[in-house]
Structure 1
Amino acid sequence: MPFNRLSALWGMLAVLSWLATGCSPEAAPPEAPPTVVDSHVIQAGHGAAVTRLSGRVKAAERTSLSFEIAGEIRRLTVDVGERFAAGEVLAALDDERYRLVARQRRAELREAEAVLREKRQDYRRQASLAEKGYVSATRLDAARAALGTAESRHASAEAARELAERDLTLTTLEAPFDGSVSRRHAEPAERVGASQPILEVISDREGFEVETSVPETLVGALEEGSRHEVIVPALGDAASPATLRHLGTQPRSSNDYPVILAVDAPPAGLRSGMTAQVALSLAEPDADATLPVPLTALVYTGEDRVHVLRITETHRLERVAVEVVAIDDGRARVRGDLAAGERIVARGAEFVGAGQAVSLLGEGPERYH
């Protein structure tokens, strides 16, 4: 019958379709191949932790010199780079106006002294006559008041004379110490205001210091008075011991804290403004407490949270939170739930995540894409 042959044909097509689908409509899709990662085996930490930072050399004693009064600069005796001795006149203003004012104040003082002598004599005379009953108490009071006024005017004139003579002495700018000029802000014949910077000078007597900054994670490992090392590339990498003189309490931008180190033995040729490399030896009571890892293995997730990805024996990734204790030469010394001999993702850790299956670069069969 045609109908029976058609039914048999549809049955054969159903069997073939079932075989083509793998005999099970609910079979799970195959698992994705492991991601290939570059790994690093953690080594045991040895020795003190050292962090290298960039800094700049500065004179330990430096200041900006200015006149306390306004005027026109008559002369400047030094230029940038020139040396001077303490007490030497470095600049002077045109003092003609100040000399005239001082002369006027002296004359006013002499006039006030003459008036005071006159009123003092008059009061004494009136007081003597009042004792004999020849003058009234009202007249004596008037003489006493006139004497008081004369005394006040004399005191004012004396103070004005002292201020004028002081201003006259301030027309010269003297060196506060032995040193040299690092910058000049004005020129002869230029009119300057009070407290306007004229010269920036540095001293020879206090040596040099290096200023740098450290991240907040390292502040607790430093203390004032600790010894470190300063290296100056411009002088052939000349090195000198340095003492930490100041550790800032207020952060700069990006939570970096200022640090100032005194150069204990300045190398020959050291000058203010040179760049320096600061090797900070961080306090670390337990050398085994930190482990070195590549900087590229660190993953920052905001708000100072840092982690690495540990590779387990089953080649799965585990997230391990760490604390960065020091940074030096492409490595970071970290503290956390890690141990020497464990393997972590060396680079590209931000592109993989915890729980992910991985294979190690350079191990196992090559994959071609």
Structure 2
Amino acid sequence: MPPFPRLPAVALLLAGLAPLLAGCSPEAAPPETPPRVVASHVIQADGNGAVTRLSGRVKAAERTALSFEIPGEIQSLSVDVGDTFAAGDTLASLDDARYRLVAQQRRAERREAEASLAEKRQDYRRQASLADKGYVSDTRLDTARAALDTAESRHASAQAAVALAERDLRLTTLTAPYAGSVSQRQAEPAERVAANQTVLEVISDREGFEVETSVPETLVGALVEGNIHEVRLPALGDASSPATLRRLGTQPRSSNDYPVILAVDEPPAGLRSGMTARVALSLPAADGAAGLPIPLTALVYDGEDSAHVLRIDDDHRLERVDVEVLRLEEGRARVRGALAPGERIVARGAEFVDAGQAVSLLGEGPERYH
């Protein structure tokens, strides 16, 4: 039998180790798919209440229509719409010539009454002295007493007439009751105005602003004075402020709408009377089961009457939660299901991920670029 050819020792060694090395080499694993980045929303409790959104208008909390209490011709009107003033400033005045003459006449009548009173008082004293001595009758003394009473009455009347004339003279000047600004001007210089005819409408700087709106009769019973709501001002970049319900009207306007006044608790800079406002009234649920508010974009509809959301657990994995859609509101839905305040759900794009999938939260952890 022919001898086997000799192999080099190194070759024999490699041949023997080949099966062993092959058994110890793991198969190459596929690369792990990174978690999908999703936008999330934390469910907030809002007292299980509904939010009713209404339109309203901003007004100064303290406003007044100013007028003269007496008629006359306007001599000066020193302010116009938008002008500001301090308390006690002169805003307008009437021609006071007639009122000065009347005051002078009443003062003259008072001096005449004072002279007559002094005379009657002296005559009565003389008659009383003579009556004590028996020189005059009681009848004559009674006559002197009656004349003195008449003189005293005329003097009191003359004093009152002077006071009224001087008051009218002072009323020819219209002064500011408080610091504020002019919202409307309804008269002009040289114009003749009647007593109590509005000349200026002014607003105060000291009491802030309020929003006036109206609610249907079905909501009146759910509102409580002193409760906090929210107002937004579109003209100021949709700035918002808490607003306290100050007054609820007792008489309806047209269509059974009742007026509601809310005080703007934190007026944003630039707020002016007359601006439009959007009012969000937070109302308690009548049945205590108004559900929880979530973004509309978090809903995934499974059919005409069913929907679900994807909850994010502590391990950042998704769980499907079936919900009942109770009501659609502005930009959000109110739902009922196995959800609780403080839980996190997928806010957008829930239809592109699945239950059980691991996710990464947008804005948390390192950014991924694809």
TM over 0.5: yes
Contact 2:50 2:290 in 1 (8 A): no
* Structure 2 unaligned blocks of 5 or more: 1-44, 294-304, 306-325, 338-370
Tell me which residue corresponds to 1:319: none
Counterpart CA distance in 1 for 2:56 and 2:152 is 62
- Distance in 1, matches of 2:214 and 2:333, equals 17
Task: Tell me if 1:110 matches 2:111.
Answer: yes
1:228 CA displacement: 0.6
The alignment's C-alpha RMSD in Å is 2.6
2:253 matches 1:244: no
Aligned-partner Cα distance in 2 for 1:250–1:328: 29
Q: Report the alpha carbon displacement of residue 280 of structure 1 after superposing the two structures with TM.
A: 0.6
1:186 maps onto 2:187 in alignment: yes
Match of 2:70 in 1: 69
CA separation of 1:80/1:281 partners in 2, compared to 1, >3 Å: closer, same or farther? Answer: same
Q: CA deviation at 1:247?
A: 1.0
Q: How does 1:354-365 map to 2 (within 5 A)?
A: none
User: How many Å separate the matches in 1 of 2:327 and 2:199?
Assistant: 43
1:267 aligns with 2:268: yes
Equivalent residue letter for 1:217 = T
Q: Is the 8 A contact 1:244 1:261 kept in 2?
A: yes
CA distance in 1, matches of 2:327, 2:149: 75
2:227–2:244 Cα contact (<8 Å) kept: yes
Q: Please state how far the C-alpha of 1:98 moved relative to its aligned partner.
A: 0.6
Contact 1:76–1:91 (8 Å) recurs in 2: yes
Change over 3 Å in CA distance of 1:328–1:109 after alignment to 2 = farther
Partner of 1:28: none
The whole-number CA distance in structure 2 between the counterparts of 1:212 and 1:119 is 68
Instruction: Give CA deviations for 1:317-341 in whole Å, capped at 9, x if unaligned.
Output: xxxxxxxx999439998xxxxx98x
Q: Which amino acid aligns with 1:135?
A: V
Match of 1:234 in 2: 235
The answer to whether the Cα contact below 8 Å between 1:232 and 1:238 also exists between their aligned partners in 2 is yes
Question: 1:96 matched to which residue of 2?
Answer: 97
* 1:346-361 matched pairs, under 5 angstroms: none
Whole-angstrom CA distance in 1 between matches of 2:234 and 2:249: 26
Matched, 1:156 2:157: yes
Q: Deviations over 1:100-125 (max 9, x none)?
A: 11111111101100000000000010
For the residue of structure 2 that corresponds to 1:222, the secondary structure is: coil
Deviation at 1:284, TM superposition (A): 2.9
Shift of 1:252: 1.2
Matches of 1:242 and 1:140, distance apart in 2: 76
The aligned residue for residue 196 of structure 1 is 197
State how 1:73-88 maps to structure 2 within 5 Å.
73-88=74-89
**What is the Cα deviation at residue 289 of structure 1?**
5.0
Q: Does 1:281 align with 2:263?
A: no
User: Runs of 5+ in structure 1 lacking a partner?
Assistant: 1-44, 293-310, 312-324, 334-338, 341-369
TM-score of the two chains, using structure 2 as the length reference:
0.67
> What is aligned with 2:257?
256
**Structure 1 equivalent of residue 139 of structure 2:** 138
What is the CA-CA distance between 1:260 and the residue it aligns to? Answer: 0.4
> Aligned in 2, Cα 1:102/1:326: closer, same or farther, shift over 3 Å?
farther
Using the alignment, how far apart are the partners of 1:204 and 1:190 within structure 2?
29
Instruction: Please say if residues 186 and 200 of structure 2, whose CA atoms lie closer than 8 Å, have aligned partners that are also in contact.
Output: yes
- Counterparts of residues 169-180 of structure 1 (less than 5 Å): 169-180=170-181
Which string of whole-angstrom CA distances, capped at 9 and with x for unpartnered residues, describes residues 269-322 of structure 1? 110000000011112375415799xxxxxxxxxxxxxxxxxx9xxxxxxxxxxx
Q: Secondary structure at the match of 2:289?
A: helix
Cα distance, 1:201 vs. partner?
0.1
Code of the residue aligned with 1:228 in structure 2: it is H
For the residues of structure 2 that align with 1:218 and 1:142, how far apart are their CA atoms?
76
Identity %: 77
Deviation at 1:207, TM superposition (A): 0.5
User: Could you tell me which amino acid in structure 2 is paired with residue 253 of structure 1?
Assistant: S
Do the aligned partners of 1:181 and 1:202 also contact (CA within 8 Å) in 2? yes
Q: Counterpart of 2:117 in structure 1: which amino acid? A: L
SS in 2 for 1:288: coil
Q: SS of the residue aligned with 1:262? A: strand
Q: Return the alpha-carbon distance in structure 1 between the equivalents of residues 257 and 127 of structure 2.
A: 78
